[in-house]
Amino acid sequence: ETEAKQWFQTRGEVRGQLESDALFGKYKGKNVIMIQLEAFQNFVINSSIGGVPITPNMNKLLESSLYFPNFYHQTAQGRTSDADLAANVSLQPLPTGSVFIRYAQHQYDSMPQTLRDNGYTAAAFHAYDGGFWNRNMMYDQLGYEKFYSKKDFTMNEPIGWSLGDKSFFQQSVQKMTQEKEPFYSFMISLSSHHPYKLPQSAQTLDTKQFKGTMFGDYLEAVHYVDASLGTMIDALKQAGLWDKSIFLFYGDHDNSISDWKPFESLLGQSLDETERFRILKGVPLIVHLPDDARAGTYEQPGGQLDITPTILHLLGIASSDKVMIGTPLITAAPPRADKKVVFRSGAYTDGSVLYLPAEDGLPEHSKCYSITGTGATGTKHAQLTDQSVCHTGAQEARKELEASDLVVEYNLVLQLH
Ligand code: GP9
């Protein structure tokens, strides 16, 4: 407990130092509209098939948004629920099972509760059974006032497990217009869920050589989600919410397609171990600020655990006393050089190295890559380097995971305050 306390205090101090940053509080009082996209990986952004972009709406949005191509999901067995935890609670998932299911009765410092403490209303939106991933209980615990689940939506566009994202987003915006401002709206999409097959009527992309394969179905699904997002942005503009809100979205986890051939065919390159890792873990983070400011590509590494600290930073809400792991990604100050994205396996990257622990647990089989010239779709140059280069980083990654596990399993948040 003492060790965990010290660890979180030190992390809190890092965020505390940034309270004098010029962007701290720059968007005070703005609404926050955040979308977690099902199985949405980063490699589709700016990619095309036969000259047709897969995500035209997102590509367009990049012109006025901040884009983080080296952003990673940090989920484990709890999949969508782990992404939700990482993004809204800034803690690591567990090595086994889902925190949402195993520890929903424990205390957490969350984005919805923190925002409510600062005068916001907070609602979650997901058009599926409210009990899935134990959301009913967990959302109550995390401080949402309202959780709009399947029963709150009109099923006028049946796709896959439930309501199609297009209608889901439209109906959600409708509900949002009734919320008291400032509000926090958290939406979870569903139409791009495995195994990705959309009804014929929703298929509008010619997937060429991938037609009839799961990878082709995935690209179709992603293309549909992109179009849904486009109509949602229009609806937000029409409702007068676009300029009053920080709008962001990120992918929750990978698409579980384990054959690399179609990825290599789409991207037109063979993929080595580091590129595969980055594609598997890489999900987009795209943030639109109310004044269109700071648009551009940000190559610094980041992960889902950084989302809540980033939003709190922009809103000017101090998080140095919160039991959270992440640090703000959008700052006027240059990104921290010692910033690490830590994965549940103990892997980590700081942008210049990628450490992959051995699957058989033998330290001598772990790999330390030095990486340079990273781009949006893959590591350009990766070279195995001396293990000692990753030694301290790997130790720090383990400490982060241990501190997080202690807090979650032993319900330490209140004690650590
Ligand atoms: C269901 C959804 C899917 O409510 O969020 O979760 P997943 O199967 O992707 O973890």
User: Which of 47, 1, 20, 3 is closest to 318 using CA atoms?
Assistant: 20
349: left (phi > 0), else alpha (psi -120 to 50), else beta?
beta
Which of 40, 98, 133 should be mutated for ligand 1, with most atoms under 8 A from CB? 133
> What's the mean pLDDT in 218-236?
98
Any idea which residue has 């994202």 for tokens? 165
Q: State the pairing for strand pair 162-163/183-188.
A: unpaired
CB-based contact 202:225 (threshold 8 Å):
no
Pairwise CA distance, residues 282 & 69, whole Å: 8
* Count of C-beta atoms within a 10 Å radius of residue 68: 26
The pLDDT confidence band at residue 344, using thresholds 50, 70 and 90, is very high
Backbone φ and ψ of 219, nearest 5°: -65, -40
> What are the tens digits of pLDDT across the range 243-279?
999 999 999 999 999 999 999 999 999 999 999 999 9
> What are the tens digits of pLDDT across the range 16-75?
999 999 999 999 999 999 999 999 999 999 999 999 999 999 999 999 999 999 999 999
Pairwise CA distance, residues 290 & 286, whole Å: 13
Pairwise CA distance, residues 401 & 3, whole Å: 12
For atom 7 of ligand 1, the residue with the nearest CA is 80
Q: How many helices (H) and strands (E) does the chain have?
A: 13, 19
Answer whether residue 413 shows pLDDT above 90.
Answer: yes
CA of 84 to the centre of ligand 1 (A): 10
- pLDDT at residue 44 in the model: 97
Q: Measured at the alpha carbon of residue 361, what is the angle toward residues 359 and 362, in degrees to the nearest 5?
A: 115
Residue type present at position 127 = A
CB-based contact 400:325 (threshold 8 Å):
yes
Q: Residues enclosing ligand 1, CB less than 6 A?
A: 38, 79-80, 126, 128, 132-133, 188, 190, 193
ipTM entry: 0.96
What's the whole-number average pLDDT of the chain?
96
Residues 6 or more apart from 354 whose CB is under 8 A from it?
Answer: 274, 277, 278, 347, 348, 368, 369, 371, 379, 382
Total-model pTM: 0.97
The secondary structure of residue 80, as a DSSP letter, is H
Pairwise CA distance, residues 232 & 227, whole Å: 9
Q: Is 145 annotated as a binding residue?
A: no
> What are the tens digits of pLDDT across the range 186-224?
999 999 999 999 999 999 999 999 999 999 999 999 999
Any idea which residue has 């992109």 for tokens? 226
